[in-house]
A = this chain, B = another copy of it.
Amino acid sequence: MNNKGKNPALSTAKSEGFANISVASERSGVSAKMIRHYEDIGLMAKVDRTMAGYRIYREADIHILRFIRRSRDLGFSTNEIGNLLGLWQNRRRASADVKRLALRHIADLDKRIAEMQAMRTTLQTLASCCRGDQRPDCPILEDLAS
C-alpha cells in the first residue's frame, strides 16, 4: 500500500515505526503537554497526524525533542533553544555562533548565581547572629525592618 502524503490510521503509523505522543514523551523526556506547547509556539514544526488527528512522531522528531530537553536542562530559554535548533539543523553553521550563544548563557547564569550568592551571604550573616531561641529579639527581622 502506498500512503505517501496521506494521513494513515494509527495502527498503520505505529506499524511503520511512528510513535504517538505518549511514546514520544517517554522516549524524549518531554511531557506530552510540553510537546504540544513547543509545536504551538513554533519551536518544533507541526508533525504529521493520523486520519483521526493524532500526532505521530518519527525518530527525527523524537531526536529534536531530546535536543530541546537537554537544552532546557542546561537552562536555555525557549528562545535560545530555537536559535540552537536552527544552528543544529544548518549544515553551514559556524561553531562560533553556537559558542557565542553558550557563552552568553554562561554569563547570564553567572549573573543570577552572583545575585543569589549575595542574598545567601547576607542571610547567612544575619542568621548566624540570631540566637534562634524563644526570645523575640532577632537581627534578621531588625535588618528587614531597617
Q: Interface of A with B (CB < 8 Å)?
A: 63, 66-67, 70-71, 73-75, 84, 87-88, 90-96, 98-100, 102-103, 105-106, 109-110, 112-113, 116-117, 119-120, 122-124, 126-127, 130-138, 140-141, 143-146
- Report whether over half of chain A's contact residues are helix, strand or loop; otherwise say mixed: helix
A66 CB contacts on chain B under 8 angstroms: 145
**How many of these chains are in the complex?**
2
- Minimum Cβ distance to chain B for residue A10 (Å): 29
Question: In the complex the two chains form, is A141's CB within 8 Å of B75's CB?
Answer: no
Residues of B with C-beta under 8 A to A134: 94-96
With beta carbons under 8 angstroms apart, the residue of B93, B102, B113, B143 that contacts A117 is: B113
Interface pairs (23), CB distance under 8 Å: A70-B143, A74-B119, A74-B122, A74-B123, A88-B141, A90-B136, A92-B136, A94-B133, A94-B135, A94-B136, A95-B130, A95-B133, A95-B136, A95-B140, A96-B132, A98-B130, A98-B138, A99-B130, A99-B140, A102-B126, A102-B130, A109-B119, A112-B116
